[in-house]
C-alpha cells in the first residue's frame, strides 16, 4: 500500500493569486470563511451591487468545502415530513422546496460561471442496506416526489446493475443530483466572486469582532470591525460562515456536534476493474447506521468513505477496514492500492437542520448543515445575500432566524458518535 496520505481534492490547481490582509478596509458586508456559504453569499451580494470582503483563515476550501464526498444531493438528512413537523407545516414546506431545488441551482451556477469541477449530473443512489431500509427509502421517495424531485426506487437487480455493489436490497435514485470535485467547485465560486468584484483574503484569520457603536443594522456600513493579524475590515453587516471549522473566534462552539467523516481514494483503476465497481459512475451512500459512501472521480479512482475519524497518520485502520468492506461489496476488483486518505468535520445541528442566528443586529452566523451542505450552503449563502439586499423579508425566509442554545452534553455526544463508529468498523470485520 502506498503511504502518501493526503486529500485527493488537493490535486486541484491551487489559487496562488490571493494575499493576506495587511490594510484597513471598509465594506458593506464582511464575510468570515471561504467555503460554499461564504463564497456564495459574497458572489450574490456583489452581483447586487454590494461591496464585499471575504476573510479566510487558511486557504480557499480549507474546511468541509474542500474535504467532502462531492454528492450534490437534494433536501435534508431528515425526511421532508420531519422537517414540516419540526418547523411547522408552512416553514417546513418552504424549506423542503428550497433544498429540493438546491442542486438545480448548483447546476445553473456551474453552467453560468463555467466552473470546471468535474461535475456529473447523472443522479445519486441511496442504497438500502437491509429490507427495512427499502421501506424507509420508499417513503422518502414519495415525500420528495411531492416537491417535484425526480426520484425513483430501484429494486435489487437494477441497483446492482448500476453499481455492481453486493449486499444491497435496492436504492433510491435521485436523477437531479450528481457528483463534483468539491474543492474545484469552491475555487470556481471564488473565481466567480472575484470577477463580480469581491475582495478575498486568505491566511487572514479573524481574531476579534468589535462593535464600534450600538447603531448596527441592515445596510448601515461601518459599524462592526473585524480584526486580523495585520489589518481591519469595518462593515455594516458581518456573516460568520465558519461552520465546523471556526477557529480563533468562538461564536458557534457548542451549537453543533462535531462528527468526522473520512475517505480513501485508490489508484486509478483499469477499464476492466472500473466495470466491476460503479460502472454507471453514480455517487452512492448507504442507509447503514454508520454510513458508507462510494464514488469514482474523473480519473477513475474509487473513493470509499465512512463516518469516523482517521486515528493514525498512515490511516492503517481505515485502509484495513476498507479492504475488507470493498472486498465484500465489489468482490471482483481485487485489492486496492489506496493513495489518499483524509477526514473532515461535519457540524451536526441539534435537529439536522441548518441554523441561521442573528447574534446582534447586523452580525449573523450560519451553522449546522449536518453533512449535507454542497447545495444547501450554496443556496443559503444566496439566501442571506437576498435578505441583506432586502429582496426577501424575515418572514419569507425558508430558514428561521433562531436563538441557538448550546447542545447539552455535547462533548460526550461527540465522543459517543466517534467510539460508536469505530466499534461499528470493528464489527464489520466480524458481522458483514
Query: Site residues (CB under 6 A) for ligand FAD?
Result: 32-38, 55-58, 62-65, 67-71, 73, 205-206, 241-249, 261, 344-346, 369, 371-375, 377
- What's the closest the beta carbon of residue 416 comes to ligand FAD, in angstroms? 19
**Cβ closer to ligand FAD: 134 or 384?**
384
Beta bridge partners of 91: none
Q: Which is nearer to ligand FAD, 35 or 362 (CB)?
A: 35
| Minimum distance of ligand FAD from residue 176's CB (angstroms) | 13
Least distance between ligand FAD and beta carbon 13 (Å): 18
Task: Please report how close the Cβ of residue 243 comes to ligand FAD at its closest, in angstroms.
Answer: 4
Q: Helices 182-195 & 374-388, crossing angle to 10 degrees? A: 20
Closest contact distance (angstroms) between CB of 29 and ligand FAD is 15
Grid cell for residue 29: 458586508
Q: Closest residue (Cβ) to ligand FAD?
A: 373
Between 170 and 258, CB nearer to ligand FAD:
258
CB of 270 to ligand FAD, least distance (A): 26
Q: Which three cell numbers stand for residue 156?
A: 435489487
Apex 353 CA angle, 348 and 357, nearest 5: 90
The distance between the two most distant Cα atoms of the chain, rounded to a whole number of Å, is 66
At 248, phi and psi to the nearest 5? 70, -30
Q: How far is the CB of 32 from ligand FAD (least distance, A)?
A: 5
d(CA 163, CA 365): 39
Q: Minimum distance between the CB of residue 331 and ligand FAD, rounded to whole angstroms? A: 25
The answer to whether 69 and 305 are in contact (CB under 8 A) is yes
Amino acid at each position: 500500500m502506498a503511504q502518501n496520505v493526503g486529500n485527493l481534492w488537493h490535486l486541484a490547481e491551487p489559487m496562488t493569486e490571493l494575499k493576506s490582509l495587511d490594510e484597513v478596509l471598509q465594506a458593506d458586508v464582511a464575510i468570515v470563511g471561504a467555503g460554499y456559504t461564504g463564497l456564495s453569499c459574497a458572489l450574490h451580494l456583489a452581483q447586487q451591487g454590494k461591496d464585499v470582503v471575504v476573510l479566510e483563515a487558511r486557504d480557499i476550501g480549507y474546511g468541509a468545502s474542500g474535504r467532502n464526498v462531492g454528492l450534490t444531493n437534494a433536501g435534508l438528512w431528515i425526511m421532508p415530513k420531519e422537517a414540516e413537523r419540526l418547523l411547522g407545516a408552512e416553514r417546513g414546506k418552504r424549506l423542503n422546496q428550497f433544498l429540493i431545488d438546491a442542486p438545480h441551482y448548483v447546476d445553473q451556477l456551474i453552467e453560468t460561471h463555467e466552473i470546471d469541477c468535474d461535475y456529473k449530473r447523472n443522479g445519486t443512489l441511496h442504497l438500502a442496506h437491509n429490507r427495512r431500509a427499502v421501506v424507509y427509502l420508499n417513503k422518502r421517495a414519495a415525500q420528495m416526489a411531492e416537491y417535484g424531485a425526480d426520484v425513483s426506487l430501484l429494486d435489487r437487480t437494477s441497483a446492482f446493475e448500476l453499481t455492481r455493489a453486493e449486499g444491497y436490497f435496492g436504492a433510491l435514485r435521485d436523477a437531479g443530483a450528481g457528483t463534483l470535485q468539491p474543492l474545484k467547485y469552491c475555487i470556481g465560486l471564488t473565481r466567480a466572486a472575484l470577477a463580480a468584484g469581491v475582495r478575498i483574503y486568505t491566511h487572514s484569520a479573524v481574531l476579534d469582532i468589535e462593535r464600534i457603536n450600538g447603531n448596527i443594522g441592515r445596510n448601515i456600513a461601518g459599524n462592526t470591525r473585524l480584526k486580523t493579524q495585520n489589518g481591519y475590515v469595518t462593515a455594516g453587516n458581518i456573516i460568520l460562515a465558519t461552520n465546523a471549522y471556526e477557529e480563533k473566534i468562538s461564536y458557534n462552539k457548542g451549537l453543533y456536534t462535531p462528527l468526522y467523516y473520512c475517505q480513501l481514494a485508490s489508484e486509478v483503476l483499469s477499464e476492466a476493474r472500473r466495470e466491476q465497481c460503479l460502472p454507471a459512475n453514480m455517487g452512492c451512500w448507504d442507509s447503514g447506521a454508520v454510513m458508507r459512501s462510494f464514488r469514482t472521480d474523473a480519473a477513475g479512482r474509487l473513493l470509499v468513505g465512512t463516518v469516523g475519524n482517521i486515528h493514525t497518520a498512515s490511516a492503517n485502520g481505515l485502509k484495513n477496514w476498507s479492504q475488507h468492506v470493498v472486498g465484500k461489496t465489489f468482490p471482483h476488483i481485487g485489492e486496492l492500492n489506496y493513495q489518499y486518505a483524509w477526514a473532515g468535520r461535519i457540524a451536526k445541528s441539534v435537529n439536522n437542520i441548518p441554523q441561521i442566528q442573528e447574534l446582534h443586529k447586523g452580525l449573523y452566523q450560519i451553522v449546522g448543515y449536518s453533512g449535507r451542505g454542497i447545495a444547501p450552503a450554496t443556496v443559503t449563502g444566496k439566501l442571506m445575500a437576498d435578505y441583506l439586499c432586502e429582496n426577501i423579508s424575515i418572514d419569507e425566509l425558508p430558514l428561521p432566524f433562531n436563538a441557538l442554545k448550546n447542545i447539552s452534553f455535547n462533548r460526550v455526544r461527540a465522543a459517543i458518535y466517534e467510539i460508536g463508529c469505530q466499534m461499528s468498523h470493528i464489527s464489520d470485520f466480524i458481522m458483514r
